[in-house]
Structure 1
Amino acid sequence: MSISDATVDTTHEVSVQEKEEEEIGNSQGQQPPSNSGSKRLSWQKLRRYDSLDIESSKFPNHASKGVKWSVILHLAFQSIGVVYGDIGTSPLYVYSSTFNSGINHNDDILGVLSLILYTITLIPLFKYVFVVLRANDNGDGGTFALYSLLCRYAKVGLTPSQEAEDREVSNFHLELPNNRLKRASRLKSMLENSRFAKVFLLFATMLGTSMVIGDGVLTPCISVLSAVGGIKEATSAMTEERVVWVSVAILIFLFTSQRFGTDKVGYTFAPIICVWFLFIATIGVYNFFKFDPTVVKAINPQYIIEYFKRNKKDAWISLGGIVLSITGTEALFADVGHFTVRSIQISMCTVTYPALVLAYTGQAAFLRKHNQFVSEAFFKSVPGPMYWPMFVVAVLASIIASQAMISGTFSIIQQSLALGCFPRVKIVHTSAKYEGQVYIPEVNFLLMLACVAVTLGFKTTAKIGNAYGIAVVFVMVLTSSFLVLIMVMIWKTHILLVISYVLVIGTVELLYLSSVLYKFDQGGYLPLAFAFFLMAIMYIWNDVYRRKYYYELDHKISPEKVKEIAVDTNFCRIPGLAIFYSELVHGIPPIFKHYVANVPALHSVLVFVSIKSLPISKVALEERFLFRRIQPNELNMFRCVVRYGYTDARNEQHEPFERTLIERLKEFMREDYLFSTMICNEKEGVEKDGVSENGSVHDDNVNNEKQLELMEREIEVLDKAWRAGVVHLVGENEVIAGKGAGTGKRILINYAYNFLRKNLRQTDKMFDIPRQRLLKVGMTYEL
């Protein structure tokens, strides 16, 4: 099979794959040997074929081990400081955002409290903690995690870079849908055969990602502004204008401190948020017993019905304020990769949920006796001696809530970047201990400017709340949509349960979405405008990224052509190792032909490195590199696919990429030697069936020594080439629209994409490539 023949369905059953591989092996005259000496080896692990597209590799099975309860409780404590800052600070502004025009009827407070209690129970507790967290991607969450799950179970990715051997990665292998369930198979087939469905899924993923990033802009604004606004209760000299400028100063400090990293964020922030939850719960209990214990009646949903009957359209509009009680819920899912599902479930059920219920109930009891203080409900309800401690903790908690969303934004952009959906930016790994903690200078600066502009422009939490709600609910609706696909196609959930989920959760979320969209002209346009701006950048980059891949796929160089170039007497082989970088997985990129046409010299060892992102979160280092020889062996040419998950670091600070590649190539040579020895011994064993055992053993030893000598000589050549010097060749591709292209395509490629490419990072910045050993090869792609 040639490389160009590979269009691999990565969603077949593993048993089918193994059967096909056995047939291929038999057709090539290869039979599995029983053993090699005293060491028994697996034929399935060592077998090699003509192409990386069907090659099986040696991968250990990383079985998930049970986590000790002490570790789970430790993580549960840490998660309080990272995950719940946003939803925990919501009591600062929910009632003031809901009752914009004041309280018209005292029982309206019971209706709103009932709505808040049931909303918190249905969305964060039931939907996210007990359902959505199950849809994590090998421990990682977020919109891209849901998309990656769908990409593995069905061929819905738009870039044709699937390979059969990817299924052997420990994180990749999953139980696939049972073909006997027609519903799952029918949905899978529909998604795979519909280009509209593939584009729509990618579009929805980009939209959800953009909305979460928008959340990262609005969270610092509304949280800090709400907390600082509490100082107006202590002094009349603190005007609204001064509150705004103090908030801006805090925001600037917050963003400028991001470069120091969040290595100890859990330990540092968890105690503060724990104190915050303790304070709001205690004050809630105090207000409940002091002012009106009868607010417990809000458990009865009848008060919701009466609230809508009394207020009609105004009640529906007020849902935009109530939805702020669940802001930050998406962080439960997005940050699960830093903790565990069980730890987040424990912290939510034992600390966050009870504290929030008590806080909202206590504020409702206070407002039943003080309707006029609804615009400053939180700080007005704080007892006098507790005011200053509460103010300090509130400011700290709001900063922590902002920190969590900013860090989440960095992680999301890193995922987008890895999957070819975002322009290259500088990723700084701020922790040697935790891979997921990253800092992106360019994005941090833009977020700071956006936050300052929003705070200065809107000035009040009520206006920002209108914008905030749209971002929150949009992401929730998209998550539910992805989850329904996962329920049907992957979990194979009973159809009645799926329908029940859609009717209950879907109806509630769509009702909230309709309410927040009503305030589009009152600030709601902001997150949508911001999201569509980000989506435009993502679309431009991803569209041209795919066009480039297809161009390289159509113009790739066959192994036969490479062989002709290598044996051409006009070319001289010079000492050293050359590494050609490309994103093309299924072949040798056209940049190599362009290089040899201008430089009539080849290094003694050549490695064509293809960079590939798998739709999983992480790829273990021992599973990252796949190698294949380019025949004949004397050419000393190799193809290599380097596979990364979307949360993997691509510039390994502690293990340089170049050194790792050389060591893995040596391992491949040794493994290839074992494989060749086994094949040779097996064939000779069949041919010499009548020869004495001693003669056969002697011949086997001679063959083994010859193979060992060849292997040692080959490794020596590699070491010698490495010592002579390594040259990294990176394609500096200029992309232009082809002749006859339409106006839209020319604007997309010639102007929009090239503007982004020239002003952002290049390929060599993605790896530890020394500048003095980097050679860029220019080539023009007409797309």
Structure 2
Amino acid sequence: MSGNEEEEDVINEVRQQEVIKELKEKKVSSQKLRVYESDMEESDDISDHHNGHNSKDLKWPVILNLAFQSIGVVYGDIGTSPLYVYASTFTDGIKHNDDILGVLSLIYYTLTLIPLIKYVFIVLRANDNGEGGTFALYSLICRYAKVSLIPNQQVEDHDVSNYRLQLPNRRQKRASWLMSKLEKSNFAKSLLLFATMLGTSMVIGDGVLTPCISVLSAVGGLQEATSKITDDLIVWISVAILILLFLIQRFGTDKVGYTFSPILCFWFVLIFGIGIYNILKFDPSVVKAINPMYIIEYFRRNKKEAWMSLGGVVLCTTGCEALFADLGHFTVRSIQISMCCLTYPAIVLAYTGQAAFLRKNNELVGSVFYSSIPKAMYWPMFVVAVLAAIIASQAMISATFSIIQQSLSLGCFPRVKIVHTSAKYAGQVYIPEINYLLMLSCVGVTLGFRTTAKIGNAYGIAVVFVMTLTSSFLVLIMIMIWKIHIIFAISYIVIIGALEFLFLTSVLYKFDQGGYLSLVFATVLITIMFVWNNVFRGKYYYELEHKVSSNKLKEILYDTKFCRIPRLALFYSELVHGIPPIFKHYAANVPALHSVFIFVSIKTLPISKVPVEERFLFRRIEPKDLNVFRCVVRYGYTDVRNEQEPFEKILVERLKEFISDDFWLSQRMLNNDKEDGEVNDEMKQVEEIKEEETLSDNEDVKEVEEVKGREVVKREIGEVDKAWNSGVVHLIGEGEVVASKGASIGKRILINYVYNFLTRNLRQSNEVFDIPHKRMLKVGMIYEL
């Protein structure tokens, strides 16, 4: 398409938007042109944005119900960290009794600053319409700055209800400067995408390591009860539990949450009670660790050893990312309630109680959790600990499903099947392929490493990397979107950022002691995501550069060789701007055009949800009598596809609405053009003095024109209904991608082998969109990149 044609299209779209506004004001077709008010407002304050389960719209019984469910899904990981934190921190034993107070003080402030203040009260508010995780942060940034590497943005996307609403702000200048820097730098765009992929990979790595370390730590308590239990038996019992855990994932978060929540509530009550018991029995003065001076003294005494021990201390924050990544399953308020009222107090007292016990029993630091339990409570506590470890695994498994769904929708992950497991709560998903890959990985790691020591080192790296990347994105959001005062952003960097950087340096020191495992997982996953996204973008640019021009399309459509088939055809492609080149290939080999022909482009916006009423964006392709249309179907990255109603049925209904609206829109524009061209200001004054008979005649003419107009609309809609009743054909344009001649060896391997291997062995487009095989026709074409 030439530059002039594109400019004309833009001008026409602007004029259409102006007329649409007039129609809306006059309440013409109000049901079809309904506008949804957005409560997502950006202001100086960090506000609770609109989310999937908007807390403002939900009643308290529902919020409390979700808070109860969140206990069983979100907090298993952070709730079971008392099983192994002290043992991972004092790997060489306790050398000074006050070191216990120093470590306890570190745990106090780490738990308060990172899980509580950072995640629960700051990061959760950076949600994208109720969705959390690294990709949710990236999507927010993509909406406010043009940093996406795929050129599929449209002006109309900004009209979607929950896209954005920006209020005037005195700190707009700084935000605009940052946006400008990001938009002009290809390096910054690529770096943001890479950081997003890295964060996603680390969360998935968490989904592998959490079950391993949690279950192994809990089952290892058997050796405290009897010496007959060998290490091999512990490993095989753990493997059996892990397999069972992954097999029940298909029942969904809703059912799993109801099953696990009572157990984990009981767990928190037990560790809360045992913590108080140990404090009162062994050393009540241990609470003085609230004084941060003990941290300074701890580092003075131990220096390098104290810094190295931070890799164990940071494990008290494991599962923090689940608070954010699992937000789509719950609400901000429900997670805040459950964290502040139950989780935080319970785990703080558990660590305090263990510290009090260790003050009198330094030599038992390796088994402090089970050793500090009263003998009468040992077996009940063991059973609950194993169950809680299973629940800890559930937290990161659910988070993994959520974040993969987001990355898939944004073109950064190969196609997999997304199963929505709850009709009651949106956002609760299950991914069969990922579930079984996680299960195999967990079993492999457990059998390969066999102990929690090396797994813990890898675990620490994954945890701290994700926290650091989340903070980096959050600072951009603070400045660019929230527009908070620069002093608050700097304070966050100095306090939270510096603490996380210190933890990062410590965990990386243990790279060769098992820490490499996280980076191996991340490398494999990033490679897959990079290959898929890179070729996906290359294919999109190829289609954009070779799209069918308006003149060529008219030439094809006017070809006398074309016969008309009385059916409705949906021609799918990924190209948003223009007609894909694969249509020219189709027309050359199949000289037939269906009576109603629609080019359908599936597009994911960088928002979590798009209302169904705003999902379909139609354009008519001239000549009008051929009934050829373009349709961009816009989804959010968490939207359900084809589960409530057949996709084609919704599309046809929206097409009929568009035909009606488009006719009256064109009539309105035509009348405006006539008024502008036929009369000037003086003539308008003369027209105002016309006689009443003339006005009456004009009204009669308008009534006749409206009747004729309704007949035209009825006839066009009738043609659509006729084609619909005759049958629907789904034409899928699938281009096979190969490396072009003369391409480098690396590019040939990346495209010809890696990408095509992923394409062949994962789900095809028709499976993702549930297109019936009997009415599907694939149109193939080779793209040389």
Structure 1-normalised TM-score? 0.93
Given candidates 745, 748, 765, the residue that maps to 2:767 is: 765
- The aligned residue for residue 385 of structure 1 is 376
Following superposition of structure 1 onto structure 2, how do residues 35-50 of structure 1 map, counting pairs within 5 Å?
Answer: 40-41=26-27
Aligned-partner Cα distance in 2 for 1:390–1:217: 25
Aligned in 2, Cα 1:495/1:42: closer, same or farther, shift over 3 Å? farther
- The aligned residue for residue 728 of structure 2 is 726
Work out whether 1:61 is the aligned partner of 2:61: no
The answer to whether the Cα contact below 8 Å between 2:328 and 2:428 also exists between their aligned partners in 1 is no
Helix, strand or coil at the partner of 2:705: helix
2:193 maps to a residue whose letter is L
Given candidates 656, 662, 665, the residue that maps to 1:666 is: 656
Aligned-partner Cα distance in 2 for 1:33–1:290: 73
- The aligned residue for residue 118 of structure 2 is 127
Given candidates 416, 423, 441, the residue that maps to 1:432 is: 423
Aligned-partner Cα distance in 1 for 2:154–2:523: 33
- The aligned residue for residue 638 of structure 1 is 629
Kindly state the Cα deviation for residue 34 of structure 1 after the two structures are TM-superposed: 6.9
Aligned-partner Cα distance in 2 for 1:606–1:255: 45
Following superposition of structure 1 onto structure 2, how do residues 254-269 of structure 1 map, counting pairs within 5 Å?
Answer: 254-269=245-260
Aligned in 2, Cα 1:640/1:522: closer, same or farther, shift over 3 Å? same
Following superposition of structure 1 onto structure 2, how do residues 643-658 of structure 1 map, counting pairs within 5 Å?
Answer: 643-650=634-641, 652-658=642-648
- The aligned residue for residue 699 of structure 2 is 697
Aligned-partner Cα distance in 1 for 2:674–2:247: 70
1:673 maps to a residue whose letter is F
Aligned-partner Cα distance in 1 for 2:390–2:297: 38
Structure 1, residues 286-320: CA drift from partner, whole Å, max 9, x if none?
Answer: 00000011111111111111111221111111111
Structure 1, residues 335-360: CA drift from partner, whole Å, max 9, x if none?
Answer: 12222222212211111111111000
The answer to whether the Cα contact below 8 Å between 1:109 and 1:368 also exists between their aligned partners in 2 is yes
Kindly state the Cα deviation for residue 260 of structure 1 after the two structures are TM-superposed: 2.6
Aligned length: 757
The range that moved more, 472-481 or 620-629, is 620-629
Work out whether 1:619 is the aligned partner of 2:610: yes
1:657 maps to a residue whose letter is F
- The aligned residue for residue 174 of structure 1 is 165
1:197 maps to a residue whose letter is A
Given candidates 591, 600, 608, the residue that maps to 1:609 is: 600
- The aligned residue for residue 192 of structure 1 is 183
Aligned-partner Cα distance in 1 for 2:459–2:7: 44
Given candidates 10, 15, 18, the residue that maps to 1:25 is: 15
Aligned in 2, Cα 1:32/1:225: closer, same or farther, shift over 3 Å? closer
- The aligned residue for residue 52 of structure 1 is none
Aligned-partner Cα distance in 1 for 2:11–2:264: 55
The answer to whether the Cα contact below 8 Å between 2:82 and 2:316 also exists between their aligned partners in 1 is yes
Structure 2-normalised TM-score? 0.92
- The aligned residue for residue 283 of structure 1 is 274
The answer to whether the Cα contact below 8 Å between 1:222 and 1:465 also exists between their aligned partners in 2 is yes
- The aligned residue for residue 712 of structure 1 is 714
1:699 maps to a residue whose letter is V
Following superposition of structure 1 onto structure 2, how do residues 73-92 of structure 1 map, counting pairs within 5 Å?
Answer: 73-92=64-83
The range that moved more, 539-548 or 61-70, is 61-70
Aligned in 2, Cα 1:184/1:202: closer, same or farther, shift over 3 Å? same
Aligned-partner Cα distance in 2 for 1:307–1:4: 71
Following superposition of structure 1 onto structure 2, how do residues 498-537 of structure 1 map, counting pairs within 5 Å?
Answer: 498-537=489-528
Kindly state the Cα deviation for residue 267 of structure 1 after the two structures are TM-superposed: 2.2
Kindly state the Cα deviation for residue 158 of structure 1 after the two structures are TM-superposed: 0.2
Helix, strand or coil at the partner of 1:335: helix
Unmatched 5+ residue regions in structure 2?
40-49, 51-55, 679-686
- The aligned residue for residue 131 of structure 2 is 140
Following superposition of structure 1 onto structure 2, how do residues 151-166 of structure 1 map, counting pairs within 5 Å?
Answer: 151-166=142-157
Aligned-partner Cα distance in 1 for 2:314–2:171: 41
Aligned-partner Cα distance in 2 for 1:231–1:7: 74
Structure 1, residues 510-562: CA drift from partner, whole Å, max 9, x if none?
Answer: 11000000000010000111001100000000000000000000011123322
Aligned-partner Cα distance in 1 for 2:525–2:23: 57
Aligned in 2, Cα 1:694/1:434: closer, same or farther, shift over 3 Å? same
- The aligned residue for residue 14 of structure 1 is none
Aligned-partner Cα distance in 2 for 1:311–1:392: 37
- The aligned residue for residue 16 of structure 1 is none
- The aligned residue for residue 229 of structure 1 is 220
Aligned in 2, Cα 1:727/1:697: closer, same or farther, shift over 3 Å? same
Helix, strand or coil at the partner of 2:259: helix
The answer to whether the Cα contact below 8 Å between 1:673 and 1:708 also exists between their aligned partners in 2 is no
Aligned-partner Cα distance in 1 for 2:69–2:456: 28
- The aligned residue for residue 337 of structure 1 is 328
Kindly state the Cα deviation for residue 740 of structure 1 after the two structures are TM-superposed: 2.4
Following superposition of structure 1 onto structure 2, how do residues 367-386 of structure 1 map, counting pairs within 5 Å?
Answer: 367-386=358-377
Helix, strand or coil at the partner of 1:248: helix
The answer to whether the Cα contact below 8 Å between 2:571 and 2:730 also exists between their aligned partners in 1 is yes
Aligned-partner Cα distance in 2 for 1:626–1:58: 14
Aligned in 2, Cα 1:333/1:304: closer, same or farther, shift over 3 Å? same
Aligned-partner Cα distance in 1 for 2:567–2:61: 52
Structure 1, residues 625-673: CA drift from partner, whole Å, max 9, x if none?
Answer: 11111112101011000011111123x1221111111111111122223
- The aligned residue for residue 15 of structure 1 is none
Kindly state the Cα deviation for residue 99 of structure 1 after the two structures are TM-superposed: 1.0
Following superposition of structure 1 onto structure 2, how do residues 199-278 of structure 1 map, counting pairs within 5 Å?
Answer: 199-278=190-269
The answer to whether the Cα contact below 8 Å between 1:288 and 1:365 also exists between their aligned partners in 2 is yes
Structure 1, residues 477-506: CA drift from partner, whole Å, max 9, x if none?
Answer: 001111111111111121122111111111
1:740 maps to a residue whose letter is G
Aligned in 2, Cα 1:5/1:432: closer, same or farther, shift over 3 Å? farther
Unmatched 5+ residue regions in structure 1?
9-19, 47-56
Following superposition of structure 1 onto structure 2, how do residues 364-513 of structure 1 map, counting pairs within 5 Å?
Answer: 364-513=355-504
Aligned in 2, Cα 1:333/1:2: closer, same or farther, shift over 3 Å? farther
Helix, strand or coil at the partner of 1:506: helix
Kindly state the Cα deviation for residue 439 of structure 1 after the two structures are TM-superposed: 1.9
Kindly state the Cα deviation for residue 31 of structure 1 after the two structures are TM-superposed: 6.8
Structure 1, residues 321-380: CA drift from partner, whole Å, max 9, x if none?
Answer: 111100001111111222222221221111111111100000000111111111111111
- The aligned residue for residue 53 of structure 1 is none
Structure 1, residues 565-597: CA drift from partner, whole Å, max 9, x if none?
Answer: 122111111110111001100011111110010
- The aligned residue for residue 11 of structure 1 is none
Helix, strand or coil at the partner of 2:603: strand
Aligned-partner Cα distance in 2 for 1:158–1:145: 16
- The aligned residue for residue 752 of structure 1 is 754
Given candidates 536, 543, 551, the residue that maps to 1:560 is: 551
Q: Which runs of 4+ in 1 moved over 6 A?
A: 1-8, 20-23, 30-36, 42-46, 683-689
2:520 maps to a residue whose letter is A
Given candidates 721, 738, 745, the residue that maps to 2:740 is: 738
Aligned in 2, Cα 1:274/1:346: closer, same or farther, shift over 3 Å? same
The answer to whether the Cα contact below 8 Å between 2:328 and 2:426 also exists between their aligned partners in 1 is no
The answer to whether the Cα contact below 8 Å between 2:420 and 2:429 also exists between their aligned partners in 1 is yes
Aligned-partner Cα distance in 2 for 1:259–1:513: 35
The answer to whether the Cα contact below 8 Å between 1:626 and 1:641 also exists between their aligned partners in 2 is yes
1:265 maps to a residue whose letter is V
Aligned-partner Cα distance in 2 for 1:599–1:104: 82
Aligned-partner Cα distance in 1 for 2:30–2:508: 56
Aligned-partner Cα distance in 1 for 2:189–2:4: 23
Following superposition of structure 1 onto structure 2, how do residues 304-319 of structure 1 map, counting pairs within 5 Å?
Answer: 304-319=295-310
The answer to whether the Cα contact below 8 Å between 1:33 and 1:43 also exists between their aligned partners in 2 is no
